[in-house]
Structure 1
């Protein structure tokens, strides 16, 4: 390898809810440097709690200037870490999904004339007309209902945009501003997602919304890859399309970096800026998911990210445009009852020891002698069901007090069956090439991963490179788009994963009937509106 090639690096950012993270990788995709800024701790002047400001009626916002100042700080921390920005060939980023940023009429002029002698946040102090509604906001129920009615119902909206109307989605959020704060709506020259806003800071002009993050707004026709006219009309006026701008594919090179970063930090003038996207979309890229693969994040809640060939129309979960050429579409399913529920019942059954809990699992057989359980410590999102605990025997009769070992396996097998059943609803098809890529704290539990391997009939792997798939995905997308443009295959472009569980030969005989039983059981549980 020539010496010059060794010096190529790629930069990724993740503007998440509570912090801004940055990461530098080499051409082998190994991590070279990291830095982060925690909003509550490092920027107390913005008075956020958990990175947001909560209102009294479900409103949750964040000041966009907080994110700009955090960028100034994280850049300085990268400097202290010894990053040589002159080696960065391209950069990209991820951001919390569903937040919106409302630019003032002179904002783009300010972005294009930044002085390298001053911080970005001092120069953009008046660039925003309001604080940003973010994904935790739940104040738009009336707007969601109106949007669904305008497009012919929840199912029709899901067919067009990939999701029924959700309170946190940007379309209903825009509708609420248009309805309740018309002066703010008309004062905004452009409306960005948090991802395209963050990209704008590096591009020196307002960046377009990418198709993948844009399909999480209830405004984009995911088949035609353009804004849906009826959805726009339902959420704003005739100016809304121009405020949003035309969306672009996620794997788009938007141009060279702003001269501000060349002069202040020493970036090369030709450093490329690749479109930023949402954090879940970036995670799919970080996990290198293909069609038929599943990203399985086992955290406080469990999240499934799936690569799809074609879009479904789910009433639970979301289908988005894929961020990479490997998967034209992606599905996103979030299950509220994840690791926290697992931990609660571990404590109830054996106390605070996973090894003791796993001993219970090992004392039972796969299929659990017919015992099947649904454990919702909190109201579930997918499917929308009330909190409660339901355990049944093979004959379908309810059980009040199963033995601890049967409860332990019923909990985990029930969770895995739920993930498989609802993944099927959004278009997952398992074949010989399918695999699960597990991340998150519970991915260290091989007993749990073996259950997922058997239920999904697919081997389970763990990602070796980095725990934050969204952040890693940002840097990987920068490297992938840059290398594709010049026709160079980088040595780290294939994922580094390790197999940890493979399905047993009799998986189908055991779990196919249990999958049907799960579907029957879930229909008996009280539904939420």
Structure 2
């Protein structure tokens, strides 16, 4: 945890030494990687509130955390806690209906449950549990910042429709958990003025407002300026979909989160592990490792591939949970191979058809004004994007999303700031 605090100290010191004028900042927000958690020791609120501007913040807070090393999204050691949580609320689908997702090992509720079960003394010494996002907001606020709806819906704990903690989920994870989490708030909430520490140490204006921080994925949705009906598709090593949804239907695959821009709407997240690595493998096998040859083969076949369809999973897929290469001809018969150009189109059409099918299962609807915003390595290939456009029957645009979570945080700060002054 202290590494994060020290990193923030270093960034701000670099900005200060470069002459950045902190007094001009009117509002700030931010983002943290989803699902990670920070455990504040009893008595830490007073230390945070009274931080001396004479010391770097990581010195002041060095004894404030009951858990020194934060669990983050890469932790997958909570399978038994996930099983217990799903059982406690009546099954995986019922948990998804409540919280937007079935139980996932990286989700915060299951991480908290593990800490409580393995070290109840540490849990009892904890007065507040933050997400990474609300932890960072707390540093700027000089007080415990609440968890926002959007990042809070990645915990397996929040009722995504009512925007309150689920008592049955909390009870299944740890005792007295509600008071350790605090009440969740809308993602556009202005939490208060910046702390005196930052005013004295860096020269921030006392009028600078702290806006609720959120998760990196919700912040990216804001940064890409998605609107109702839009889809953002990152075509990278893994393929990821961000969707703006009005009427969600939670499923066993994918995630429904509260929308960080519109509290009455939702966002969905779908991740497909067999992305660019799968496309590159078929390129090597069928097009001599050449994207030009790959593209020519793709355009030499017709949309629909004459009924030939393939599912290509070199590694265990996330959505759906499946592995292996499965090819079917126009008569729905399983076959062992396709001609090279048919193989290439079967791969690309199959990948994009799967994305549309799983998106629609979560409640997404293609609308007349739907736009597809594509980014990532494969978004540079116009022939691949044409297939994407054909499958969704919508125009595709490419976008540069470098630092989209940071940009989204800045947009959200502006949004909240103008809401309070108007």
Higher relative CO (Cα under 8 Å, sequence separation at least 6) belongs to 2
1:447 corresponds to? 383
1:123 corresponds to? 60
1:275 corresponds to? 212
Are the aligned partners of 1:289 and 1:326 in contact in 2 as well (CA < 8 Å)?
no
Find the residue that maps to 1:332 and give its secondary structure: strand
One of 289, 309, 330 as aligned partner of 1:394: 330
> How many residue pairs get matched?
421
One of 252, 262, 266 as aligned partner of 2:199: 262
One of 292, 298, 305 as aligned partner of 1:368: 305
Find the residue that maps to 2:240 and give its secondary structure: strand
CA distance in 2, matches of 1:174, 1:291: 34
Relative distance call for 1:80 and 1:376 in structure 2 (3 A) is farther
CA distance in 2, matches of 1:442, 1:362: 16
Are the aligned partners of 1:95 and 1:279 in contact in 2 as well (CA < 8 Å)?
yes
Indicate whether 1:319 and 2:281 are aligned.
no
One of 210, 222, 233 as aligned partner of 2:171: 233
Find the residue that maps to 1:324 and give its secondary structure: coil
Runs of 5+ consecutive residues of structure 1 not aligned to the other structure:
1-63, 488-529
Q: Could you list the per-position Cα deviations for residues 402-450 of structure 1 after superposition, in whole angstroms to 9, with x for gaps in the alignment? A: 1211111111111000000000000001110111111222222211111
Are the aligned partners of 2:28 and 2:413 in contact in 1 as well (CA < 8 Å)?
yes
Q: CA RMSD in A?
A: 1.4
Shift in Å at residue 349 of structure 1? 2.0
2:349 corresponds to? 413
Indicate whether 1:404 and 2:340 are aligned.
yes
Indicate whether 1:422 and 2:338 are aligned.
no
Q: Could you list the per-position Cα deviations for residues 299-344 of structure 1 after superposition, in whole angstroms to 9, with x for gaps in the alignment? A: 1111111111123121111111111128611111111111121122
Q: Could you list the per-position Cα deviations for residues 339-391 of structure 1 after superposition, in whole angstroms to 9, with x for gaps in the alignment? A: 12112221222244322211221222222222211110110111111x21112
Indicate whether 1:191 and 2:129 are aligned.
yes
Are the aligned partners of 1:289 and 1:327 in contact in 2 as well (CA < 8 Å)?
no
One of 143, 146, 159 as aligned partner of 1:205: 143
Shift in Å at residue 479 of structure 1? 1.3
2:291 corresponds to? 354
Task: Within 5 Å, give how 1:10-49 maps onto structure 2.
Answer: none
Find the residue that maps to 2:162 and give its secondary structure: coil
Shift in Å at residue 291 of structure 1? 2.1
1:168 corresponds to? 106
Shift in Å at residue 295 of structure 1? 1.3
2:230 corresponds to? 293
2:94 corresponds to? 156
TM-score scaled to structure 1, two decimals?
0.78
Runs of 5+ consecutive residues of structure 2 not aligned to the other structure:
none
Relative distance call for 1:363 and 1:276 in structure 2 (3 A) is same
Find the residue that maps to 1:323 and give its secondary structure: coil
Structure showing the higher strand proportion among its residues: 1
Shift in Å at residue 127 of structure 1? 1.0
Find the residue that maps to 2:122 and give its secondary structure: helix
CA distance in 2, matches of 1:468, 1:403: 41
Are the aligned partners of 1:98 and 1:168 in contact in 2 as well (CA < 8 Å)?
yes
Relative distance call for 1:366 and 1:226 in structure 2 (3 A) is same
One of 380, 397, 414 as aligned partner of 1:479: 414
CA distance in 2, matches of 1:121, 1:266: 19
CA distance in 2, matches of 1:135, 1:73: 24
